[in-house]
Amino acid sequence: MSLFDDHFASKNAASARAWAMDDDKNGSKKEKRHEPAAPKMGVCDKCHREALVRSYRTRQTDLGNGAASFGTVIKYFCEECAPKSRRERDADVPQLSNKQVKNLMRSAKKGLL
Ligand SMILES: [Zn+2]
């Protein structure tokens, strides 16, 4: 991995974490109350296959006739297409420890990389 790749990856991770924090501030109360219902047979709204699906409430904003309307839409997703929970998403983000970041910065300053 080049210096650029490392830098890019850590920058991405940092902004992903910032996003997650914004999410918490804006809507964690609502999302905590909402657990996906038990799976049942149905057609997935994303891949259109018949499968065990769960219902998910998604917020939708429509702009029509110059007026914005906000609504909640129920979508059915199979296990594969289901939106990941925040905890799972966070697990996907590569995390650099503080020590790794410091080492990276020090190396970069010294021009070692
Ligand atoms: Zn699907």
- The rounded Cα 95 to chain-centroid distance in angstroms is 15
CA 38 → CA 10, 32, 70, 79, 83, distances in Å?
Answer: 37, 16, 26, 11, 15
Tell me how far the alpha carbon of residue 10 lies from the centroid of ligand 1, in angstroms.
Answer: 31
Tell me how far the alpha carbon of residue 6 lies from the centroid of ligand 1, in angstroms.
Answer: 34
pLDDT of residue 77: 93
**Higher-confidence residue: 45 or 21?**
45
Tell me how far the alpha carbon of residue 57 lies from the centroid of ligand 1, in angstroms.
Answer: 16
Tell me how far the alpha carbon of residue 50 lies from the centroid of ligand 1, in angstroms.
Answer: 8
Strand partners, 75: 56
Mean pLDDT (the chain) is 74
Tell me how far the alpha carbon of residue 53 lies from the centroid of ligand 1, in angstroms.
Answer: 8
Domain ranges of the chain: 1-34+84-113, 37-81
Given a cut of 90, whether residue 85 has pLDDT beyond it is no
